[in-house]
Each structure stands twice: as C-alpha cells, then as structure tokens.
Amino acid sequence: MTESSYLTRIGTLIRDARRHQGLTQSELADKLGTSQSAVARIEQGRQNLSLEMLARVGETLGSEFVSLGHSGPQHLRIVGGAKLSGSIPVKTSKNAAVGLLCAALLNKGRTTLRNLARIEEVNRIIEVLTSMGVKVRWLEGTSDLEIIPPATLDLGAIDVAAARRTRTVIMFLGPLLHQFDEFSLPYAGGCDLGTRTVEPHLTALQSFGLDVTATHGFYEAKVDKGTRPEKAIVLTERGDTVTENALFAAALSPGTTIIRNASSNYMVQDVCFFLEKLGVEIQGIGTTTLTVTGRESIDVDVDYSPSEDPIEAMSLIAAAVVTESSITIERAPIEFLEIELATLEGMGLQYDMSDEYLAKNGHTRLADITILPSKLTAPIDKIAPMPFPGLNIDNLPFFALIAACAEGTTMIHDWVYENRAIYLTELTKVGATVQLLDPHRVMITGKTPKWRPAEVMCPPALRPGVVVLLAMLAANGTSVLRNVYVINRGYEDLAERLNALGATIEIFRDI
C-alpha cells in the first residue's frame, strides 16, 4: 500500500469515528488544539500525521486507529486430539444480524439490536452504514448495537471496500428505494461460492418502481416513486435475502403487498418480528406467503433481540461428533434444526434434549442439546438441502464432516452453490476420504482414515473453513489453518469458546 493510500484510509477512519461521536470537524479541531481546515485535510488523507497526533486523535475519539502487531491475516494453530466437555451457549445469528441492520434503515428513529453477534460481517456493515452518515455504536460493556440514521444518507461517501466484502449491500436496495429517485451501490461480494443470483432481487423490486442497470462494478438504480405492485409478488427463487428485500420494499409502501414463494427461514422470521415492532403488519410469518401492510413512514425507538444461530448450533454438534465428545449446546434454536437432528438420529446419533423455551425475540423455540458419543453409520439416502423447512443449505458442509465419522459411504449433494462442494475436498488434507463426483456432489467414505494434522489455507468460504477447523480438532498433533477471516465473518470468538470446552487453539498473525 502506498503512503497516500494509508493516509486516505486513516483519514476515513478518523472521519467515521468523529461522526460516531457526533462531533463536527471544528469541534474535533478545538479538542485537538488545531484548526478545522487541518482536520479536513487529515480526513481527506492530505496531511502527514505524526505518531503523537495520531495518538491524540485516537484518545479524543476513543478509538485505536493503528494497532501495532495486529496487521496481516489471522491464522490458527490447533493442537488436536483432546476430548471436549462442558456447555456452550449459541450466539445470535449472522444472517439475522445483517438483515436487521438493513431493516434499521427503514426507521427514522433509534433502533437497538440486543446481543448482536460481534463478527466481521457485522463490522463490515457497520463500516458501510457509518460511512453513509448513520450513527452506529456498541452500548458500553454490551453487545447491544444502537443505530440512528441521518435525515439523508450520504451515499456518495459509501465505504466501497467494506461493502464489496459482503453480499449484504444488495439488501440496501429495498430500504433505499424509498429514499432516493436515483442512487448507485457497489456490487455485492462475500464468500467465494461461485456466481450468486441478483436477478430475483431486481425482479421483485421492479414492482415497486426500481429499475437497475449494472455498470462498472456498481448497480445504478432509478426509482419511479409511488409505483406499487399491481398483483402478488411471486419470487422465482425462495431465497432468504430476496424475501427480506421484498419485505423492506413493502414495509414502507402503504397498502397491502403479498409475497409468494417467500422464504420462511430463521433470518426472515427475525426480520418479520422486527418489522412488526416497527408497526408493519405481517401475516403468514413462518409460511411461504407473506401479506404485508406497509406504512407511510416509520419513526419509532425500538429494541429487538434476534434469535440464536441454527448454523452455529449445527457447527457445535459437528464439533462434538468429530472429537467423539459429549458437550451441551445451550440455547439451540431447535425449531430450525429438526430435520438435521432427525437425519442425525437416523445415522445413530445419541443426544439428550431439555424442555423447550423461547428465545428473547419471544417466538423462536430453543432447547439445550447434549450430544453423546455415538457409533454412526452412513445414511441410506443422499444428504441434500432444501429451503426451510428442509435441511438448511448452510448446514450441509457439517454433514460432510459427520459423514467422514460414520461407517459407510455418504453422498452429499450441494445443488445450491457452484463452488461449495469443491471446498469439502480440503478434508482429504486432514485424512478424510472425499471424492468429488462433479461440482455439486461429493462421496464420503467414513471411518477408514484416522484424522491427521496438516497445514491448510482456509477455503474462501465460511462453512467449509469451519469444517476443516473442526477436523483439525480431532487430529492428534499440531495443525495450522491459515487466513481465517472468513470464519471470523460468521463466528464470534470461536477459537476462545472452543478452548473453554477443552480445545487448544492459538490465534497468531504474520508480522
């Protein structure tokens, strides 16, 4: 990176932190004993900064801009082979968090999201929101996030680099079509799972007057305000984020909108419960037809607690299975794990389950699941995902790991993603027998090999990355998993939390 791009990056961080604190450039200048024009130059990256000045700015804004020893990618060193034991509570979900952060843009008032997962994906969205002028702050000593949008979003200042690291930016289309006649947004990015569709989003939002052309890495949007769907919106794919986008468009569109072939998955339900708190009426939550009565405007101070993450719960089940351990997974959203548990029972998994109780959102059914060491056999049929209430698409990779611990041969069919099944072959590096039949299907022969330690570059996709990490926990000896940003995208403190169960995982970085 050149010196000037460092200065620009630091300048942007300082501008965002100043806005976080609700200070003008002049007010910050007063606190630093300098001029408003000097602050303006710093924020534009046109001012050389002494270390002393950087420290003073950091102190004044309560933010560390440059942290020595924390550069470079993060890696994990895993000393495997130990049994795990104890209890671990499931955190709230990444996918609800990103939907809710976008939904907060519909509300002119203060949104407080309680107990949000503190993960890199959320950090990227916070960076994007802050760059557009939204006031976002973690309430001290908590994982509660407060979000207050400005009167007008500053889309010209959007942090393009942060936006491109997620797919979430596509869910800004729904909220933004209410606020602008014209706007542009950077293309969505995220995990490298092959091409992912955008078309269903554009088609669904067309009936609210949105017209998008994609040019030079940006979606250029024009909005014909006041346009409303003349008939029910029929989603061509039962996708989660497309359903959320259609909900966002309907929420601020007075009148009734019907969305058919809607996803009823966990994050969509969390978004629906939140929209209800904003005063939007929604019938059919949990089904594939949502009837939404929108509002002219929304200006309320609202609190919402998203539910726990079924994919994290499944990851922890897989951790217990692969290490042949007994652990208790607390606060598992059992409602979104029923097919998974039925499939695992069919493979011979033994487990105990507590009585059910409700998540803090007041709706989602939770339970504590204790996984018991079990002798597993391969399922008779292939394992393939389906939109909810099928076996969750993001849980499929964990079945590959579990199949490697089961006697016999299992076919895993990931029809959804172009690239994800391919990454499961990385398990061969730690001793599994995985045969790639085609880009969507792998055949796994279980139990024959012993897990063995290895040094592996983390696959550029969240769930396959976690699957390799969990296999390393089972391999006797020291493994290294390099560049785990994708894991941190979706899991909060995973290494530390597994260590609390008896694992030995050390986080290290290149200097």
Ligand X SMILES: CC(=O)N[C@H]1[C@@H](OP(=O)(O)OP(=O)(O)OC[C@H]2O[C@@H](n3ccc(=O)[nH]c3=O)[C@H](O)[C@@H]2O)O[C@H](CO)[C@@H](O)[C@@H]1O
Site residues, ligand X (CB under 6 A) = 95, 98, 167, 196-197, 237-242, 267, 387, 393-394, 416
330 binds, among ligand PEP, ligand X, none (CB under 5 to 8 A by kind): none
Distance of CA 337 to the CA centre of its chain: 18
Residues in 93-122 at the binding interface with ligand PEP, rule: CB under 6 A: 95
Query: Nearest approach, Cβ of 95 to ligand X (angstroms)?
Result: 4
96 or 349, CB closer to ligand X? Answer: 96
Residues 73 and 506: beta-carbon distance below 8 Å: no
Query: Nearest approach, Cβ of 267 to ligand X (angstroms)?
Result: 5
In angstroms, rounded to a whole number, what is the distance separating the alpha carbons of residues 252 and 138? 27
Count the site residues for ligand PEP by CB under 6 A: 9
Paired tokens of 191: 């995990």
122 or 430, CB closer to ligand X? Answer: 122
188 or 430, CB closer to ligand X? Answer: 188
* Helix 120-131 / helix 3-20 crossing angle, nearest 10 deg: 80
Binder of ligand PEP out of 490, 492, 495, 503 (CB under 6 A): 490
Query: 439: cis peptide before it, omega within 30°?
Result: no
Residues 98 and 165: beta-carbon distance below 8 Å: no
Q: What is the residue-wise DSSP string for 408-470?
A: EEEEEE--S-SSHHHHGGGGGGGT-EEEEEETTEEEEEESSSPP---EEEPPSSHHHHHHHHH
35 binds, among ligand X, ligand PEP, none (CB under 5 to 8 A by kind): none
98 or 259, CB closer to ligand X? Answer: 98
193 or 235, CB closer to ligand PEP? Answer: 193
Binder of ligand PEP out of 104, 170, 442, 462 (CB under 6 A): 462
Residues 443 and 413: beta-carbon distance below 8 Å: no
42 or 396, CB closer to ligand PEP? Answer: 396
Under the binding rule (CB under 6 A), the answer on residue 167 touching ligand PEP is: yes
Q: How many CA atoms lie within 13 A of 92 on its CB side?
A: 24
Q: How many CA atoms lie within 13 A of 148 on its CB side?
A: 10
235 or 475, CB closer to ligand X? Answer: 235
175 or 453, CB closer to ligand X? Answer: 175
- Which of these ranges, 76-84, 145-153, 187-195, 205-213, lies near ligand PEP under the rule CB under 6 A? 187-195
Residues in 381-440 at the binding interface with ligand PEP, rule: CB under 6 A: 394
85 or 197, CB closer to ligand X? Answer: 197
Under the binding rule (CB under 6 A), the answer on residue 463 touching ligand PEP is: yes
- Which of these ranges, 125-133, 186-194, 276-284, 441-449, lies near ligand PEP under the rule CB under 6 A? 186-194
191 binds, among ligand PEP, ligand X, none (CB under 5 to 8 A by kind): ligand PEP
Under the binding rule (CB under 6 A), the answer on residue 306 touching ligand PEP is: no
Residues 506 and 480: beta-carbon distance below 8 Å: no
Paired tokens of 115: 């107990």
Query: Nearest approach, Cβ of 322 to ligand PEP (angstroms)?
Result: 19
Paired tokens of 454: 């290895």
Under the binding rule (CB under 6 A), the answer on residue 190 touching ligand PEP is: yes
Query: Nearest approach, Cβ of 134 to ligand X (angstroms)?
Result: 19
In angstroms, rounded to a whole number, what is the distance separating the alpha carbons of residues 54 and 475? 45
Pairs from 222-230 (Cβ < 8 Å, separation ≥ 24): 222/181, 222/182, 223/177, 223/180, 223/181, 223/182, 223/183, 225/181, 228/253, 228/255, 228/257, 229/257, 229/258
**Beta strands at 289-294 and 326-332: parallel, antiparallel or unpaired:** unpaired
Query: Nearest approach, Cβ of 86 to ligand PEP (angstroms)?
Result: 26
Phi, psi dihedrals of residue 281, rounded to the nearest 5°: -90, 130
Positions touching ligand PEP (CB under 6 A) are: 95, 167, 190-191, 193, 394, 462-463, 490
